[in-house]
Amino acid sequence: MKKYRVNVNGTNYEIEIEEIKEGDIKAAASAAPAAPAAAPAPAASAPVSAGSEAINAPMPGTILSVNVAAGDAVKKGQVLMILEAMKMENEILAPKDGKVSSVGVAKGASVQTGTLLCTID
């Protein structure tokens, strides 16, 4: 063990650091508990066909307005819908030119991160 004195924002702390060798690192890693399982990814509400692009909710929130309907032609950058999250209105934009093949949410719907909002062909 080595002792050090560290000053953090004007406060002195005395710390001890243990030097470990390569073999100790491997032994500690194998004895470490397993990491918790990752949260499952949200399931899409409908399958997306080849050539279509799914537009998913980037964060949890509430849909304030839906500006498109199935069959509408859209241009890249066009506002598809408004998602309110943390008291801010977030515009969900079309990533490409195309035709809206489906809309999976309605005004007032609560969505989670990854919820399928619509698909564009």
| pLDDT tens-digit map of 49-87 | 667 899 999 999 999 999 999 999 999 999 999 999 988
Q: Report how far residue 100's alpha carbon sits from residue 120's, in angstroms, rounded to the nearest whole number.
A: 4
Domain parsing of the chain, residue ranges: 2-31, 53-120
Q: How many CB atoms lie within 10 A of CB 22?
A: 7
**Amino acid (one-letter) located at 101:** S
pTM exceeding the 0.85 threshold for the entire prediction: no
CATH number of 53-120: 2.40.50.100
Q: Give the strand pairing for 2-8 and 11-17.
A: antiparallel
